[in-house]
């Protein structure tokens, strides 16, 4: 018995040791396989030609699809709008309190409109409206709109507009940008159905039609046909031929003294016996032709500065095409600003420069100035910025078009053609101000039959330029989307720059009605510039507020100077406490420049001329 147990015990031990050996053998095999896998070199699949070609084809198809779709949507990403709509819809569907509130508001508005209709039907005297239009909304200001049934029609429209504003805002959980985008889009859609846009619901257009026996509609139809023909042929706007650069506008005498691939530099002839030693370099926005600063002789800022005893240089931008698609922001800085400074230093050696930037030109000038200051350079006596931003966290309703989805869509549109066309840019600006720029034209030109009165500023506005694919993409991403310039992430030559390095005096102008660079955004220079800053808030808009020659009627402005060690004052407090002055801010700016300029002396000799002003780039189409 004992022997048997011993034998059984030995057998069990043998089985156990055999299992352990097998397990050890398996573990060793696994270890060998692991070592072989670890030593195995797996190539980067992106470098496999077939896979690279497949990825390139996929990217091409995506880009081509988006570029084709952009021609239908006017460059607006349907995906971006769809994302905003779904964000709003999902949050609204899970917000029963908001739904109840909107239902109550709809009922109360219907009740108000019903009572208003009853009062209008039973009272001979004027009846107070349910809702007054916004201050900037002049569509229903005429007396004819206050009579039945048109008062009921426009009041119904305003109440409906207000309800949709309530519906698209204040939904908890919706991102701020999606809320703004949806509110904006709903406003644009509603503006399409404004009763002022249609003959049968517009009492003023009906009265005009009765008065003229329908001749206004015939003129309007002809105007519409003409506009359609211009759009089909991509022809210039009618009437622009009366404002030709070098003949009716941009007529200030001067010479092109420097030219590169991107700019022509114009030096203007002096008009005074003596001039200040410091020249002025003007850097306009590259999105439009330079001559907004040299319009008709009576409202030319260039002529005004010459009359004040300054030597003026102007950057005139080349109109890029598909061959310029790879020009980037640094090319614009280097060839647009730095080489212009070098040319001026050659012509007028030893003198500092008053730098002036308008709109995007001001942003580019601030980048160049910060770069020079970082590298211990000091070419400027002062810097002036007209409707220019360096912080882009609040750029107005343009921000609605700036998000990752929209930029990817826009990049694909530019990728196909190599640039962003002026018509594509104009569409975005017109959408922002559709009531003024689209539906106002429908009313006055097509319904009322009133001819469009072309003038110099309008002609300049229709004479736009293109923007290269790479530059515009970099600009939108690094500044509008990421706000790199004021957050210390904008790099030049591989190193970050900071606008806090700018220490020369600064003169900054914002305009009250600016839809491109809202004055609150322009005012943010107070937060970032560590220098003396004189800020002007002038009446008018982005363009008309800058073209504000002395003697221009209905012009006013506010101005105050902040020392570099003064406490910050918010924009609303600044506007409330700064007195309003009548007249043109140009005179204020001229005095400011004079205080920072040397004693007048003989004017410099014009450099060797490459061409007469306005040069050749201004004529590029």
Q: Point out the residues that are catalytic.
A: 359
Task: Please state, in angstroms and rounded to a whole number, the distance separating the CA atoms of residues 350 and 348.
Answer: 7
What is the full DSSP assignment across 109-150?
A: HHHHHHHHHHHHHH-SS----SSPPPTT--TT-SGGGGSTTH
Torsion, Cα 299 300 306 308, to 10 degrees, reads 30
Contact between 589 and 508 under an 8 Å Cβ cutoff? The reply is no
Task: Please state, in angstroms and rounded to a whole number, the distance separating the CA atoms of residues 338 and 383.
Answer: 15
Task: Please state, in angstroms and rounded to a whole number, the distance separating the CA atoms of residues 428 and 431.
Answer: 5
What sign results for the dihedral spanned by CA atoms 512, 515, 521, 525?
A: negative
Q: What angle do CA 291, 613, 276 make, to 5 degrees?
A: 85
What 8-state DSSP symbol labels residue 92? H
Beta-bridged to residue 255, according to DSSP, are: 267, 612
Long-range pairs, 437-443, Cβ under 8 A, ≥24: 439/191, 439/192, 439/194, 439/196, 439/197, 442/197, 443/196, 443/197, 443/202, 443/205
Beta-bridged to residue 534, according to DSSP, are: 507, 561
- CA nearest to 381, candidates 359, 358, 348: 348
If 0-12 CB within 10 Å is exposed, 13-18 middle and 19+ buried, where does residue 520 land? middle
Question: Which helix (H) or strand (E) is 49 found in, with range?
Answer: helix 49-73
Task: Please state, in angstroms and rounded to a whole number, the distance separating the CA atoms of residues 307 and 103.
Answer: 64
> CB-based contacts of 195: which residues, under 8 Å, 6+ apart?
150, 153, 154, 157, 201, 202
3-class SS letters over 387-442: CCCCCCCCCHHHHHHCCHHHHHHHHHHHHHHCEECHHHHHHHHHHHCHHHHCHHHH
Classify residue 303 as left (phi > 0), alpha (psi -120 to 50) or beta. Answer: alpha
Give CA separation, 543 vs 114, 387, 621, in Å. Answer: 44, 9, 22
Task: Please state, in angstroms and rounded to a whole number, the distance separating the CA atoms of residues 120 and 146.
Answer: 10
């Amino acid at each position: 018995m004992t022997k048997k147990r011993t034998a059984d015990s030995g057998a069990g031990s043998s089985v156990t040791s055999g299992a352990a050996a097998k397990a050890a053998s398996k573990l060793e095999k696994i270890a060998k396989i692991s070592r072989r896998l670890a030593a195995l070199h797996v190539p980067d699949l992106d470098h496999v030609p077939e896979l690279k070609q497949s990825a390139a084809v996929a990217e091409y198809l995506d880009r081509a699809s988006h570029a084709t779709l952009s021609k239908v949507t006017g460059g607006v990403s349907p995906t971006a709008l769809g994302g905003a709509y779904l964000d709003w819809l999902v949050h609204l569907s899970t917000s029963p309190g908001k739904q109840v509130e909107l239902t109550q508001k709809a009922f109360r508005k219907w009740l108000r409109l019903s009572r208003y209709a009853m009062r209008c039907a039973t009272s001979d005297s004027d009846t107070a409206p349910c809702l007054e239009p916004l201050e900037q909304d002049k569509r229903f200001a005429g007396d004819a709109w206050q009579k039945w049934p048109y008062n009921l029609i426009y009041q119904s429209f305003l109440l409906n507009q207000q309800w949709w504003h309530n519906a698209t805002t204040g939904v908890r959980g919706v991102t701020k940008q999606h809320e703004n985008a949806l509110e904006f889009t709903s406003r644009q859609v509603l503006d399409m159905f404004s009763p002022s846009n249609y003959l049968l619901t517009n009492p003023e257009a009906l009265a005009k039609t009765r008065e003229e026996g329908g001749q206004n509609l015939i003129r309007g139809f002809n105007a519409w046909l003409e506009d359609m023909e211009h759009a089909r042929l991509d022809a210039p706007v009618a009437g622009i031929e009366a404002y030709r650069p070098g003949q009716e506008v941009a007529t200030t005498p001067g010479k092109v003294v420097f030219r590169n691939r991107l700019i022509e530099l114009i030096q203007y002839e002096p008009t005074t016996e003596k001039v200040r030693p410091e020249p002025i370099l003007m850097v306009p926005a590259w999105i439009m032709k330079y001559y907004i600063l040299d319009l008709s002789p009576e409202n030319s800022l260039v002529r005004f500065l010459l009359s004040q005893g300054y030597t003026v240089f102007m950057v005139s931008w080349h109109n890029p095409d598909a061959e310029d698609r790879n020009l980037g922001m640094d090319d614009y800085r280097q060839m647009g600003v730095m080489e212009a400074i070098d040319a001026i230093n050659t012509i007028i050696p030893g003198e500092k420069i008053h730098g002036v930037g308008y709109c995007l030109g001001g942003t580019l000038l601030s980048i160049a100035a910060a770069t020079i200051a970082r590298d211990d350079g000091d070419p400027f006596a002062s810097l002036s910025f007209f409707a220019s931003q360096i912080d882009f966290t609040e750029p107005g309703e343009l921000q609605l078009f700036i998000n990752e989805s929209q930029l990817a869509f826009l990049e694909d549109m530019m990728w196909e053609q190599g640039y962003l066309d002026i018509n594509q840019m104009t569409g975005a600006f017109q959408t922002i101000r559709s009531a003024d720029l689209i539906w106002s034209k429908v009313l006055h030109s097509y319904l009322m039959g009133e001819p469009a009165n072309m003038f110099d500023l309008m002609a300049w506005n229709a004479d736009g330029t293109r923007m290269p694919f790479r530059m515009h993409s970099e600009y939108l991403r690094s500044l509008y989307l990421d706000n790199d310039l004021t957050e210390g992430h904008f790099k030049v030559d591989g190193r970050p720059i900071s606008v806090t390095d700018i220490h020369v005096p600064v003169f900054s102008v914002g305009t009250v009605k600016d839809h491109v660079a809202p004055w609150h955004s322009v005012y943010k220079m107070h937060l970032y510039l560590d220098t003396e800053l004189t800020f002007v808030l002038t009446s008018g808009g982005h363009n008309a507020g800058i073209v504000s020659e002395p003697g221009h009627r209905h012009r006013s402005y506010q101005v105050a100077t902040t020392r570099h060690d003064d406490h910050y004052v918010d924009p609303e407090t600044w506007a409330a406490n700064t007195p309003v002055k009548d007249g043109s801010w140009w005179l204020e700016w001229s005095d400011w420049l004079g205080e920072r300029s040397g004693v007048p002396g003989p004017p410099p000799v014009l450099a060797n001329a490459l061409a007469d002003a306005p040069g050749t780039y201004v004529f590029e189409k």
